[in-house]
Amino acid sequence: MITFYPGPSKVYPEIEHYLSDAYKSGILSVNHRSEPFMKMLKETIETMKLKLEIPADYEVYFCSSATECWEIIAQSLVETKSLHVFNGAFGEKWMEYTQKIKPASSGLFFDLNSLPKIADIIGYQDSDAICLTHNETSNGTALPDSFFEELRKLTEKIITVDATSSMAGVVFPWKEADVWYASVQKCFGLPAGLSVMIVSPKAVQQAEKIGERDHYNSLLFVRDNFLKYQTPYTPNALGIYLAGRVMQQVEMLSEISVQMKDRAKDWYQFLSKSGYKVLVENEEVRSDTVIAVSGEKQQIAAIKKAATENGIMLGNGYGSWKETSFRIANFPAITLDEINQLKVFLKTYSETAG
Ligand SMILES: *Cc1c(COP(=O)(O)O)cnc(C)c1O
């Protein structure tokens, strides 16, 4: 079965070999405050900063999931309220989780086929942080780099970004936001159970100003530990090890990004040419890493079933598009050969059943 599920998604095939290396290396049995662990963590962070072209003054922490990052931001970077700008299920969930911790936080919904209005965002003068979803996994939209650049010019507030389904796939304008985070079971091609949080000096300053240290995962406490290449709690050492190995193996992100953008362009062209309807009509806001195709409920169910029978797993729809769309992950671990198999299937399907 080949999978195009946008998370958990296909892991790099090299993982099999790295798992066995991890076992043999002994790293899985060492204390997380010991020299070998600290060395492994340091190397993983350095390789990640190099390959993902992360600015030198941004810090990298590992946590357990994107969901945990939602809570860390709410606890430690938001004093009273944050503003959540969203158009789909993940951005909305982030707001809902935050409201349990900081009830005054509010949302600004925008339409699937448009960009959020910057004037509306900066109108919320008393929010402590602006929360954006770089790539809305539920509907296949993304915010273009130019949006981050414009917003940054017009606000002094910290900008935090959920980039779970795009980090390690496409380049980001890192400096135009203060926190970027992702779980690794999507675009990184790694098994679940680890997230990456990338934090600017300005975000660290805001955390220090707020001074929140009440939780095991308070940002300042996490940071104190990571500055020593340690972690607040016994971490997912296997996940960190695998992330380090995959980061060694992959090309520089700017190169991967060109390939992903080319593949995405091909996908969108192919889909419209072959009689499929892309959920997002406005090309400017289409995602490069998660492609959503819309259709009638029965049509979608039938195509997913036929795909499974052909050894191909498509991603289900999500949230309000659960039954009226399917999703195709365009992540770096997926090979061109696999993409071609899916294209052959989709083409044949539209010519016969469609
Ligand atoms: C998958 C996903 C999450 C949740 O990730 P977990 O690892 O389950 O916490 C959050 N945000 C986005 C955009 C996602 O795609």
Instruction: Judge residue 209's burial from the number of C-beta atoms within 10 Å of its C-beta, 0-12 exposed, 13-18 middle, 19 or more buried.
Output: exposed
Q: Torsion angle, CA of 67/70/76/81, rounded to 10 degrees?
A: -150
Q: What pLDDT, on a 0 to 100 scale, did the predictor assign at position 353?
A: 76
Q: What digits encode the pLDDT tens for the residues 125-167? A: 899 999 999 999 999 999 999 999 999 999 999 999 999 999 9
Residues 6+ apart with CB under 8 A from 102: 74, 78, 80, 81, 82
- Mutate which of 62, 69, 137, 181 for ligand 1? The one with the most ligand atoms within 8 Å of its CB, which is 137
Instruction: Judge residue 257's burial from the number of C-beta atoms within 10 Å of its C-beta, 0-12 exposed, 13-18 middle, 19 or more buried.
Output: buried
Q: What's the CA-to-centroid distance between 22 and ligand 1, angstroms?
A: 26
Residues 6+ apart with CB under 8 A from 236: 62, 64, 193, 194
Q: Closest Cα to atom 10, ligand 1: which residue? A: 66
Ligand 1 interacting residues, C-beta cut-off 6 A: 7, 65-67, 90, 133, 137, 162, 164-165, 183, 186
DSSP-derived pairing of the beta strands 195-199 and 179-183:
antiparallel
Q: What pLDDT, on a 0 to 100 scale, did the predictor assign at position 354?
A: 53
Q: What digits encode the pLDDT tens for the residues 198-227? A: 999 999 999 999 999 999 999 999 999 999
Q: What's the CA-to-centroid distance between 17 and ligand 1, angstroms?
A: 27
Each domain of the chain, given as residue ranges in start order, spans 2-8+252-353, 15-249
Indicate which atom in ligand 1 lies nearest the CA of residue 195: 7
Contact 224, 59 (CB under 8 A): no
pLDDT in tens, the chain (354 residues): 999 999 999 999 999 999 999 999 999 999 999 999 999 999 999 999 999 999 999 999 999 999 999 999 999 999 999 999 999 999 999 999 999 999 999 999 999 999 999 999 999 989 999 999 999 999 999 999 999 999 999 999 999 999 999 999 999 999 999 999 999 999 999 999 999 999 999 999 999 999 999 999 999 999 999 999 999 999 999 999 999 999 999 999 999 999 999 999 999 999 999 999 999 999 999 999 999 999 999 999 999 999 999 999 999 999 999 999 999 999 999 999 999 999 999 999 999 975
CATH number of 2-8+252-353: 3.90.1150.10
Tally the residues of the chain.
354
Read off the pTM: 0.98
Q: What is the DSSP string of 83-94?
A: EEEESSHHHHHH
- Mutate which of 67, 71, 98 for ligand 1? The one with the most ligand atoms within 8 Å of its CB, which is 67
Q: Closest Cα to atom 14, ligand 1: which residue? A: 164
- Which architecture does CATH list for 15-249? 3-Layer(aba) Sandwich (3.40)
- Mutate which of 96, 183, 187, 217 for ligand 1? The one with the most ligand atoms within 8 Å of its CB, which is 183
Contact 85, 131 (CB under 8 A): yes
